[in-house]
Structure 1
Amino acid sequence: MQANASTEKTPAMNVAGESQLAIHVEWLADAQDANSEEHKLGFWTAMRIYRKSVLWSVAVSTALFMDAFDTIIMGNLYGQPAFRERYGVLGKSGSYQVPSPWQIGLNNGSSCGQLIGLLLSGYATERFGFRKTMATGLATSIGLIFILFFAPNLKVLEVGQVLFGIPLGLFQTIPVVYAAEIAPGSLKPYLTTYVNSCWAIGHLIGAGVFRGCLTMDNQWAYKIPFAIQWVWPTILLPLLWFAPESPWWLVRCGRLEEAKSVLRSLASNSEEGLDADKSVALMAVTIDYERTVNSQTSYRACFKGIDLRRTLVVIVIYCIQTLSGNSLRSYSTYFMEQAGFPSKEAANLTVINYALALIGGFVAWVLLPLFGRRPIYVWSLAAMFLLMVLIGGLGIPQAKSDNKSYSWAIGALLIISSFLYNATMGPLTNTLCAEIPSTILRSKSVVLARWVYTVTSIIAGVFTPYQLNPTAWNWGAKTGFFWAVACFLSFVFSFFCVPETKDRSSAEMDILFDRKTSARHFQDVTIDLTEAVIEKTDGGKN
């Protein structure tokens, strides 16, 4: 039988990682066995044994419905006559409109709050755990929704947006990291890509709600969307009471026996699944190895030594979501309206667009076992580059012609690019960003990546309207050329810097990065875990 990661060694493990730790050699055989068994565990076997892990990951990810719903609230409310009359000013045309500066402020208010919440999340999750941090964010959001629901004017509405963004940021990255830490390797890519589907579902729900409220002419036209935000925390808070904590977090805290207990509770048939003692030994060895490389767990530690490379890759991968043209894709309805579609039909097309995004998530699940993460991610960027070139090319004749078919074709290409994004690089962003960082810096690395991504989204959200607006820069669909350049640069970066993480455990990723392996050759290297760990920790003297 395997050697247990016994409690007398527990004090050596601490959440802060304040000192470099020596690997307990007697754990290595168990860690090697657990690493080998995890590679052998197939998808369907893992689904049968660890279905509880899947269900808990899906439940926690559901919180992102609320975040996704929030991102489209304001943009849709500006089209609600009742909202404009309540919060807007009477213009010369005789209609009420929300002033442009307030529109920019309200659009970005939640994002600014999220920047604060994200930074708090990186500390809170490692200090208090995923469950408590998530529950705190959900409970706080319940109270802050009252500000939005009863806001008497734009100033209060703006304050509510900023404050509400803080709890959204607090649990925004938790589902990705939680999914990566609660399930075996064969299930991780499916659960982390599902996080992107949650965004698509949230957007789809939002589009459907606003389509249903489109003809309402009273205060409920804008109060109902705010009130729906109460649904998610009301459902999720009771569930979180029973949710298991991340076993990786428990090991990082030195609570090894609790980690074993969680692993056993998640396995429907422990005799078939990975041995809990060996699994915890693998986690402990991985964490000890990482602490010999970098013992610190602060945000600053993410930019030191080997972790600098890992952090920068994760940050750029997140930002590529913006660079691939997300802000332009959000204007597909705008081009459809230019093509002559009435507002209701354009709204219907928005719903169709989000539905295709959700279908794209299912397509991603089909692609995952057929190809590696890297080829799907890299070559989808090449395809996105071609689509943006086509959109920009159509913008040239569109600018000189009244033919509505150009706008129709541009809108259709944007919807196609949205489907491609959600079937490939979109969901894989979460998978790669969960698998590339070290386990002791995973939460903070993902937070930093999401933080920078939010900043780039705010910037892109400000200048994209100027690119398209006839009264501003008036680029129109030729804006596609701008994003084509961004896609090309993203493709070059990904080709040389994004590694293949498929079929690699966290320990193996640590070793590959520590050896400074080229991103293009991660899949070619064979690793003996025991040999690599001993070589690193004591120069191979044992």
Structure 2
Amino acid sequence: MEKNFATIVPERTADYQESTTTEHLVTEAEAAMAWEHSLTLSRALKLYRKAIMYGAFVSLALVMEGFDTKIMGSLYAVPAFRTAYGTRASSGSYQISAPWQSGMMGITGVSCIIGMFIGGYVTEKIGFRKTMIGTLLSMPLIIFIFFFAPSLEVIAVGNFLFGLPLGIFQTITTVYVTEIMPNALRPYLTSCYSLAYALGQLLNAAIFRATLNLPSPWPYRVPFALQWFWPIIIIPALYFAPESPWWLVRQNRLDDARASLRKLTSENLDIEIQQLISLMVFTTNHERSIEAGTSYVTCFKKVNLYRTLIVIGVYIMQVLTGAPLRAWMTYFFQQGGLPTDQSFNMTIVALALSLMGVLGSWVVMTYTGRRRMYLVGNMISIALFVAIGGLGIGLRKSKLSGLAWGIGSLLAVDGFIASLLILPVTFVLVSEIPSALLRSKSVVIARNSYTAVNIIAGVLTPYMLNPTAWGWGAVTGFFWAGACVIGLTFTFFMVPESKGRTTAEMDILFEQKISVRKFKSTEISLIRGVQEGLPVHRQSL
């Protein structure tokens, strides 16, 4: 057994003080995995209430991100901003040109990519807490650039600099929450990304609506100024938060990992902390035995390549299901025929529905799998976007207000469906598909791939909507219906079911090249795998 097990647990386990034999380590890891499977939602809420509190504070960074990333899209719909920074169109109204709109989105996207690579590298070196605190401290000075910007060129500089911390947050928040939660809570807390993001966007729309009639320049300076608020409340919470126990295990700081777990869990925890650490050690060492490297290149080697491609596709699903269009919804509503004030009102309604959708997704994912939610969500979105495109054709022939309200209502419903069945599941899957060793770097690669595609979509969307460019208006719905067809096809052939699986189980399922349609029905035994010298599976009867 010792000889066979050496392929799974290499010499690094010698540092593991309490587990003097490999058999003991595997027994403890198996016990921890069985305990995780038996952990009910209600019990997990009691045992990990402190971890939930810390995860909620970290998620405030995502509320901030949702608020910040929607600012430029909202500003283009504010008359005072267009008058201050735009040019007069032939119609007599002031507009920010489509090249400038696209360029702003592209600048932010490029700097986000840089920020994500920085975040993935620095996090593995110094940990999640220090990386987040340092990033938050850099933000107040950047906000000064926005607040006092005399021209679009200065705002562009601010967008580039601000994209760096936003890119870092996009990487580390989801991974940190993943690593402090048990399986029973992981889907709910990681899907909070969508909840926090939607809450930030809703707050953004409400503030812009409230300041719309203020004298210039306050309709656009007040939203800029409110960005100073976020670091003040997030930094103190991060100071007291524990470091990720998984990161500490990867650093071979096992005593610190045990202390972190104690800080995250209740005193009434009905399993030994040692056994949970054993599962982390087993998983980490097993992954190192399969592929010792932890560089970005490692994400594209052997079985990790397949896992990385899935995570990339899952992240890009946000673009394919119309997120870029929804990010411009206020401007979209204006070009669809609604007045400015009603466009902001409709945006608030749509974002409130999105918020309700995320809350509803927690109920849905309790009873069904991630794969099925993706499939159904894409099919409904296809139908909704086709309907939006059809109404857009009608609106070109007749400027009936009823058509404009119908288009707005359908886009609001699509936001609800996306938030119910697709967007929250995205962040659950990107936390469950990668290996523990490469989770941060896989998320960086996937998020950067998403950002690159989103830059392209961000460049195209203003041209689709802007009356001084292509001016498609609501006919744009046909374009996004086609994008959803691509997402549906990818889901069917590539996305496996990960519900209820530990990281160790996902490792084995991918190594054994199980079909994505059989992930749900395949059972895993760590002990049997060790006895036979490699991880194996058996089909459930």
Where 1:46 maps in the other structure, the secondary structure is helix
Is the alpha carbon distance of 1:503 and 1:63 closer, same or farther for their aligned partners in structure 2, counting shifts above 3 Å?
Answer: same
* Deviation for aligned residue 1:151: 2.3
Tell me which residue corresponds to 1:153. Answer: 151
- 1-side partners of 2:198 and 2:493: how far apart? 30
Deviations along 1:301-327, whole A, 9 cap, x unmatched?
A: 101000000000000011011011222
Tell me which residue corresponds to 2:493. Answer: 496
Which among 403, 424, 429 is matched to residue 427 of structure 1? 424
Is the alpha carbon distance of 1:48 and 1:499 closer, same or farther for their aligned partners in structure 2, counting shifts above 3 Å?
Answer: same
Which among 118, 121, 136 is matched to residue 119 of structure 2? 121
* Deviation for aligned residue 1:477: 3.0
TM-score normalized with structure 2 length: 0.91
Is the alpha carbon distance of 1:345 and 1:106 closer, same or farther for their aligned partners in structure 2, counting shifts above 3 Å?
Answer: same
Is the alpha carbon distance of 1:519 and 1:222 closer, same or farther for their aligned partners in structure 2, counting shifts above 3 Å?
Answer: same
Tell me which residue corresponds to 1:265. Answer: 263
**Residue 390 in structure 1 maps to residue 367 in structure 2:** no
Q: Is the 8 A contact 1:10 1:256 kept in 2?
A: no
**Residue 447 in structure 1 maps to residue 438 in structure 2:** no
**Residue 310 in structure 1 maps to residue 307 in structure 2:** yes
Which among 311, 336, 342 is matched to residue 345 of structure 1? 342
**Residue 505 in structure 1 maps to residue 502 in structure 2:** yes
* Deviation for aligned residue 1:247: 0.4
Which among 356, 364, 368 is matched to residue 359 of structure 1? 356
Deviations along 1:233-271, whole A, 9 cap, x unmatched?
A: 111111111100000000011011111111112222344
Aligned residue pairs: how many? 524
Greater displacement, 171-180 / 460-469: 460-469
Tell me which residue corresponds to 2:211. Answer: 213
Tell me which residue corresponds to 2:202. Answer: 204
Which among 226, 231, 248 is matched to residue 224 of structure 2? 226
* Deviation for aligned residue 1:300: 0.7
Is the alpha carbon distance of 1:381 and 1:534 closer, same or farther for their aligned partners in structure 2, counting shifts above 3 Å?
Answer: farther
Q: Is the 8 A contact 1:336 1:411 kept in 2?
A: yes
Where 2:191 maps in the other structure, the secondary structure is helix
Task: State how 1:141-290 maps to structure 2 within 5 Å.
Answer: 141-272=139-270, 274-290=271-287
Is the alpha carbon distance of 1:413 and 1:442 closer, same or farther for their aligned partners in structure 2, counting shifts above 3 Å?
Answer: same
- 2-side partners of 1:300 and 1:442: how far apart? 13
Q: Is the 8 A contact 2:351 2:412 kept in 1?
A: no
Q: Is the 8 A contact 2:76 2:331 kept in 1?
A: no
Which among 74, 77, 86 is matched to residue 75 of structure 2? 77
- 2-side partners of 1:94 and 1:379: how far apart? 45
- 2-side partners of 1:375 and 1:436: how far apart? 16
* Deviation for aligned residue 1:74: 1.6
Is the alpha carbon distance of 1:447 and 1:144 closer, same or farther for their aligned partners in structure 2, counting shifts above 3 Å?
Answer: same
Where 1:526 maps in the other structure, the secondary structure is strand
Is the alpha carbon distance of 1:442 and 1:206 closer, same or farther for their aligned partners in structure 2, counting shifts above 3 Å?
Answer: same
Is the alpha carbon distance of 1:386 and 1:513 closer, same or farther for their aligned partners in structure 2, counting shifts above 3 Å?
Answer: same
The one-letter code of the counterpart of 1:445 is S
Where 1:120 maps in the other structure, the secondary structure is helix
Where 1:229 maps in the other structure, the secondary structure is helix
- 2-side partners of 1:440 and 1:492: how far apart? 29
Tell me which residue corresponds to 1:56. Answer: 54
The one-letter code of the counterpart of 1:461 is G
Deviations along 1:489-532, whole A, 9 cap, x unmatched?
A: 21121112111111110000000000001111001111111222
Is the alpha carbon distance of 1:148 and 1:465 closer, same or farther for their aligned partners in structure 2, counting shifts above 3 Å?
Answer: closer
* Deviation for aligned residue 1:474: 4.6
- 2-side partners of 1:289 and 1:248: how far apart? 14
* Deviation for aligned residue 1:124: 1.0
- 2-side partners of 1:538 and 1:345: how far apart? 59
Q: Is the 8 A contact 1:88 1:98 kept in 2?
A: yes
- 2-side partners of 1:87 and 1:469: how far apart? 16
Where 1:152 maps in the other structure, the secondary structure is coil
Tell me which residue corresponds to 2:523. Answer: 526
- 1-side partners of 2:92 and 2:524: how far apart? 72
